[in-house]
Structure 1
Amino acid sequence: MPAIKDQVLFLDFDGVLHPDAVYLTRNGPTLRAEGELFMWAPALIEILNEFPMVSLVLSTSWVRHLGFKRAVSFLPPELAVRVAGATWHSSMAKDWLGDNKWDGRTRYDQISRYAARAQLANWVSLDDDPAGWASTARYRLVACDPRLGLSDTHTLQALINSLKEMSTN
């Protein structure tokens, strides 16, 4: 696993790299919508080619349900090599500051906790769940339509703009 670089993109899978219609079955994650899992990953690969200093930290429920290594294994190699960690790890199953409510935390709570612990200054989140984001941190969120993810040109441009802004800090 590579070390975290100066810039981090927190990456969700469902509703970002494919539609948010994924269900865990005995055979693994299954997309119950038109298309295929990770069908929009090539767009992210292309964008990140322009930002070599960006590491990925997984902020997807796939890590909790499948484990870190297995979640990473679903990514195309060009993205997998950039993964430097995840917001969830197995020790969190025990508690979060004395309570067992990881799943009840917003994505923003999970990401901001990780960013604070890792002392990250330059980070952006790519996610389809804007619930619970602090108004002072909304500039760090590139929100996707859960049906369109990275197939939406406005989302792609917003991501490019956020990465450019982050790279100048």
Structure 2
Amino acid sequence: MLIGYARTSTTEQEAGLQAQLRDLKEAGCEEVYSEQISSVDVRAQLREALTFTRKGDTLVVTKVDRLARSTVGLWEIVKELDEKGAALRVLNLGGETVDTKSATGRLILNIFAGFAQFEREMMLERQREGIAKAKAEGVYKGRKPTARAKADEVRKMHAEGKTPTEIARALGIGRGSVYRAIEGVGA
């Protein structure tokens, strides 16, 4: 069975999520899991997809960066799939479909995952340099504290019995921000 997984980092990336879902359906995925969450957060739908995967199944993603942020993270997922007798298929890896069922597929995945991690680290390095330059010039303001602006709404939803996870999802903020708002820290 082909099991699809789609992810975007934010709810504003709806078109990207829809494109992934379309591609996964076109690839023949019978079961598809999706979420709009940062890859550093707990990805419940990914966990469900991995739990659902059985021997002989293949987990399908459109791109490596939708699944993992680093080669280590990627190979942890591949190892978990291997232990179940399942595989990973990436639909668009350098324009090609790559499947970990073959030694060649594993090699290509490893090479491209390394390049993807290198590219991300270079982007973050450039970003840090840009921020440092902007701070030195006195023009860096940082991002607006959106969670603080929603503190009253957080407390209201909490009083209504919503869980921190539900509140964070509904308001588009992190769970840590929800806890700080509930406790009145930084308000």
Task: Please say whether Structure 1 and Structure 2 have the same fold, judged by a TM-score greater than 0.5.
Answer: no
Q: TM-score, normalised by structure 2?
A: 0.29
Task: Give the number of the structure with larger relative contact order, counting CA–CA contacts within 8 Å between residues 6 or more apart.
Answer: 1
Indicate the structure (1 or 2) with the bigger Cα radius of gyration: 2
Q: TM-score, normalised by structure 1?
A: 0.31
